Amino acid sequence: MSTDELYLPTIVNIIAVFAILFCNTNIIIATIRNKSLQQPCNFLIALHALADMVTQFGCLVFAYYLFSDTIYTTRLTCVYLQSPSMFSSMFGLVIILAIGIDRMVGIVKPLR
C-alpha cells in the first residue's frame, strides 16, 4: 500500500480526532461548570474524557509522519511520541472499570 492510498483514510481520521477532542472538551467543561454534575461518577466520566483526548493525539503523530514524508524514525523517538497515548489508553480502561464498579455499588447498595 503506497502513501497516496493512505491519505484519504488519514484525513478522515484527523477529522474524527478533532470531533472527539471537541466532544470530550465539552464533557469536561460541562462537568466543571454545572454543579449538579459534580458527583464522583461524573468526575470519573470527565477523567475518562481527558484520557481519551490524550489517546487521540497518538493518531495525530501518525498523520504528521505520513504527511511530512518521514518514513522512518528512531525507536526512542517512537517511544516518546507514543507513550502518552498508550498510558492514557490504559488509564482510560482503569477509569471505565472504576465507573462500572461505582454504578454496580449504586445499584446493589443504593443510599436510602
Highest mean pLDDT out of 4-8, 10-14, 49-53:
49-53
Q: How far apart are CA 52 and CA 91, in angstroms?
A: 9
The count of structural domains within the chain is 1
pLDDT tier, 13 (very low <50, low <70, confident <90, very high otherwise): confident
Expressed as residue numbers, the domain containing 18 is 3-108
Burial class (CB in 10 A: 0-12, 13-18, 19+), 43: middle
pTM: 0.84
pLDDT, tens digit (0-9, with 9 covering 90-100), for 72-104: 889 999 899 899 999 999 999 999 999 999 999
Q: What is the mean pLDDT of residues 47-63?
A: 91
Q: How far apart are CA 101 and CA 112, in angstroms?
A: 19
